[in-house]
Amino acid sequence: MATIRNRKTQVNLRLPISTRKRLENFVRLTGRSKTAIAAEAIDQYLDWRIPQQADLGKGLAEADAGTLVDEKKVTAYFGKHAR
């Protein structure tokens, strides 16, 4: 019996022609399927973007709460470390 982790679903994408051609070229170069390449690319993109987006949300929440570093401390730090 397949676990939820191994289950698959279908997604349809509209790609620019130039992207589709690049994908097809990569398929020929690697012998991998379009599905495998697209799934890997999406996984890698989400692995990068989800933490980035979460950090951005935290930063905005800190800014809204007024808990960012004081401007004088930032100026002093960079003034000390400027070349």
* Ramachandran quadrant class, 10 (left: phi over 0; alpha: psi -120 to 50; beta: rest): beta
Q: Which of 17, 52, 24, 18 is nearest to 38 (CA)?
A: 24
The total number of structural domains that make up the chain: 1
Structural domain includes residue 73: yes
Give the tens place of pLDDT for each residue, 24-73. Answer: 999 999 999 999 999 999 999 999 999 999 999 998 998 888 888 878 88
For residue 7, tell me if it sits in a domain: no
Residue 81 domain flag: yes
Answer yes or no: is pLDDT of 1 > 60. no
Is residue 74, in this structure, part of any structural domain at all? yes
Report yes or no on 67 lying in a domain: yes
**pLDDT of 25:** 98
83 belongs to a structural domain: yes
Domain coverage including residue 39: 35-83
Entry pTM: 0.66
- pLDDT for res 50: 96
